[in-house]
Amino acid sequence: MSSIHDKKIIIAGAGLVGSLLALRLLQKGYQVEIFESREDMRKQSISAGRSINLALSHRGIEGLKLVGLSDQILPHAVQMKGRMIHTLNSELLFQPYSIRENEYINSISRRTLNIQLMDAIEKWDVKINFGNRLSHFSPEENKFTFTTKGNLKNELVDCCLIATDGSNSIARKFMLDRSAELRMNYNQKFQDYGYKELTIPPGEHSKFLLEKNALHIWPRGHFMMIALPNPDATFTATLFLPFKGEQGFELLQNTSTLRTFFHKYFTDALPLIPNLEEEFFENPTGHLNSVKCSPWHYKDQILLMGDAAHAIIPFYGQGMNCGFEDVVVFDQLLDQLSNVEELFQQFESSRKPNADAISDLAEDNFEEMRDKVSDPVYQRKRALESQLEKKYPNYYSKYALVTFRPDVSYSEAMIKGRLQDEFLLKICADQTEFNDIEMMKIYNHLQSI
């Protein structure tokens, strides 16, 4: 029986989740060794505005609070208080995420966040082994090997490895190679959609050219564009298109079809993206894939965490938040359990239903964002929910449960949220205005769900 207190913990992957986990484990006094396949991002310059931003929300903030960094990191974010819908004829429609004051999401650069976490790790006099790729695992010897580009090998024995090496996890591949032994269920799924990142630069005097405190959406039914603000007054826009068919990437092969396409569907955005052609034809087309698997651990030797265990598509803005919540839950379990394998098993038991739930919710939300947000019934439902929130501070929409209520698990939020939506959409299909008594009845029914 191996105790987590006696083991060196290897963290494979110093991305957001790996860095947060490493920092927390260092704070708790564990012996930690950190490896990262990429080079140190702090030594590489990336032009401003080209960094990808993420939506940090309450579950993720809990993770930052755990390591005492939320106050230091949040000032680097831009608050997004709701969705700004851009209609086909360039009208704007604002849908607040919540009526409660502290309930907004935060656009933050992945790079900034990761650097803050890495800097905090190094204050513990621990160095991150950059440029070291997990290359081999020998279960019999309980040995992990990391290899540098120059083919230098780092071999570690009798440790346990927590794999935070992302959606293409190498550690997960090691486990897949032992599928029969583990009876490993594994499901990877690619969307028929890809994405392309585009930049909206600032106006004169560093002016934001769209409403600063909003997540902008151009919902177009089978496709959409979104844009998130950055502190430097740029926006990072992301265009989501199917690969095939009408309005698919395959038909946008030259400047003129691209321009015609943007002119028709993103009229108000077109003048804001001066480098449209270069960016569209030079930036890679991103994929959207998800992974569900089980088990998440191999004996007491490997545990998958974050995207390595449960990669999801980005449409609920919860990938990082879910990963940070993994760390919060793992931290709690560390106080209760010391047997490594039991700890790993309990972690999966606790997190797997919630990771599955947010994955399913993210799939639903893609349809919601690209299509339903512009539907009149849906819009009436959102308006009614805002009224409910105003009148009954206890009312939480599905989005608010998922995004602002870390005390409610993703799976509870999914079940409750879906039932609420079903009920409200039915009501709003027939009726546009609600008086106080009707509102009370609606609220009472929602409370009973």
**Does residue 295 have a cis bond before it (omega within 30 degrees)?**
yes
In the complex, least distance from residue 180 CB atom to a second copy, rounded to whole angstroms = 5
The size of the chain, in residues, is: 449
In the complex, least distance from residue 371 CB atom to a second copy, rounded to whole angstroms = 22
Beta strand 302-304 with 159-163: parallel, antiparallel or unpaired?
Answer: parallel
- C-alpha count within 13 angstroms, C-beta hemisphere, residue 183: 0
* Cβ distance to a second copy smaller for residue 168 or 260: 168
- The DSSP call for residue 161 is E
**Does residue 353 have a cis bond before it (omega within 30 degrees)?**
no
* Cβ distance to a second copy smaller for residue 202 or 242: 242
- Find the DSSP H helices in 123-254: 170-176, 179-182
Question: How crowded is residue 427: how many other Cβ atoms within 10 Å of its Cβ?
Answer: 17
In the complex, least distance from residue 194 CB atom to a second copy, rounded to whole angstroms = 9
For residue 100 the two structure tokens come to: 């409660």
* Cβ distance to a second copy smaller for residue 40 or 250: 250
- Asked whether 33 and 18 are in contact (CB, 8 A), the reply is no
Start-to-end CA distance of the chain, whole Å, equals 44
* Cβ distance to a second copy smaller for residue 231 or 286: 286
Closest CA to 288 of 429, 143, 172, 189: 189
Q: How far apart are CA 233 and CA 212, in angstroms?
A: 8
In the complex, least distance from residue 239 CB atom to a second copy, rounded to whole angstroms = 18
In the complex, least distance from residue 249 CB atom to a second copy, rounded to whole angstroms = 12
Look at the block and give the residue holding tokens 């401003």: 48
In the complex, least distance from residue 289 CB atom to a second copy, rounded to whole angstroms = 7
In the complex, least distance from residue 159 CB atom to a second copy, rounded to whole angstroms = 27
Phi/psi zone of residue 210: left (φ > 0), alpha (ψ -120 to 50 degrees), beta? beta
In the complex, least distance from residue 178 CB atom to a second copy, rounded to whole angstroms = 12
* Cβ distance to a second copy smaller for residue 6 or 177: 177
Can you give the binding site for a second copy, defined by CB under 8 A? 168, 179-180, 183-190, 192, 243, 287, 289
Residues 6+ apart with CB under 8 A from 93: 84, 85, 87, 379
* Cβ distance to a second copy smaller for residue 189 or 263: 189
* Cβ distance to a second copy smaller for residue 187 or 349: 187
* Cβ distance to a second copy smaller for residue 96 or 353: 353
Look at the block and give the residue holding tokens 């009798």: 158
Look at the block and give the residue holding tokens 């894939």: 289
Q: How far apart are CA 243 and CA 251, in angstroms?
A: 9
- Asked whether 400 and 103 are in contact (CB, 8 A), the reply is yes
In the complex, least distance from residue 23 CB atom to a second copy, rounded to whole angstroms = 30
* Cβ distance to a second copy smaller for residue 72 or 179: 179
